[in-house]
Amino acid sequence: MRKLSLSSEARAAAARAVADDPRLAAFPVQQLVRSRVHAFQLAFANEAVARLGVPGKDVFYEPSYRGLRVLGATEMALAGPARALGNWYGPHVAIRPAQVHYHSGDEVREPVMAVVVRAPRRLAPEVRKDLQRRDAELGEISFHRGACVVRARATQAELLGYPAWLDALTDGTGEVWMRLSHYAPVVRDPGPAAA
């Protein structure tokens, strides 16, 4: 797995993560939800949390002056709260795309996910090729009754959008399971002048 360099946006997100509660390390992906009509985003965020109720074990809600930050154990875990908020608020809510939840301290660390993909056997080459394109470390690939099962590890940054890609590839018949494996240091790209 290659080490990623951080964009300026990712560096800013990582810098904000310094204040994160250590318990939030279990949530490697996040999404910001903002109101288009509330005068104060914190008021909207608190109202949204009250509507959403007690979060499940795979999500966490963090109201702030910027809006409601929804943290998830996986990108798929963000779908339920986003759908509910979209249904309640309609066009009056802006749901930003999922982002990686970096952690910072002495060094910036990024989440690495363990991935298991189940897809029709005939699509095994495409699944494998896409995971390689995402710089995943491929593990075992097995075949069972017309299906392939691929195990891999990849950074959450490389996996953003993967569930939707797999759904489109397999016409909704594929399945993906992800869980946090560990956090790894992010190595900044030294640039073309480096030796």
- Residues 6 or more apart whose CB falls under 8 angstroms from that of 57 comprise 73
**Does 132 lie in the same domain as 181?**
yes
The pLDDT of residue 30 is above 70: yes
pLDDT tens-digit profile of 127-171?
999 999 999 999 999 998 889 999 999 999 999 999 999 999 999
As a whole number, mean pLDDT of residues 29-42 equals 96
pLDDT at 188 over 80: no
Query: 78 is in which domain, residue-wise?
Result: 29-100
Compute the distance between CA of residue 87 and CA of residue 90 in angstroms, rounded to an integer. 5
User: Which pLDDT score, from 0 to 100, does residue 78 have?
Assistant: 96
129 in the same domain as 86: no
| 147-155 and 109-120 strand pairing | antiparallel
CB-count burial class (<10 Å; 0-12, 13-18, 19+) for 111:
buried
Judge whether 67 and 93 are in contact, CB under 8 Å.
no
Q: Are residues 127 and 95 in the same domain?
A: no
Distance CA 66, CA 35 (A): 10
For residue 89, which of 52, 40, 55, 64 has the smallest C-alpha distance? 52
Distance CA 26, CA 12 (A): 20
State whether 114 and 177 are in the same domain: yes
- The pairs formed by 50-56 with CB atoms below 8 angstroms and a separation of 24 or more are 51/84, 51/85, 51/88, 52/81, 52/84, 52/85, 55/81
Tell me the C-alpha distance between 159 and 180, whole Å. Answer: 12
Q: How confident is residue 191, by pLDDT bands cut at 50, 70 and 90? A: very low
How high is the pLDDT of residue 17? 45
- The answer to whether the beta carbons of residues 163 and 75 sit under 8 Å apart is yes
Query: Mean pLDDT lowest for which of 24-28, 35-39, 101-105, 181-185?
Result: 101-105
Q: Classify residue 168: in a domain, yes or no.
A: yes
Domain boundary among 100, 133, 155: 100
Is 82 in the same domain as 150? Answer: no
Those residues with Cβ within 8 angstroms of residue 98's Cβ, 6 or more apart along the chain or in another chain = 29, 30, 31, 72, 75, 78, 160
Distance CA 55, CA 37 (A): 25
Whole-number mean pLDDT of the chain? 87
Structural domain includes residue 195: no
Tell me the percentage of the chain whose pLDDT exceeds 70.
84
CATH code for position 59: 3.30.70.870
pLDDT tens profile 49-58 = 999 999 989 9
Averaged pLDDT for residues 90-97: 96
Residue 103 has a pLDDT of: 83
Which band of pLDDT confidence, cut at 50, 70 and 90, is reported for residue 1?
Answer: very low
Domain count, the chain: 2
Q: Residue 194: which pLDDT band, with cuts at 50, 70 and 90?
A: very low
**In this structure, is residue 90 part of a structural domain?**
yes
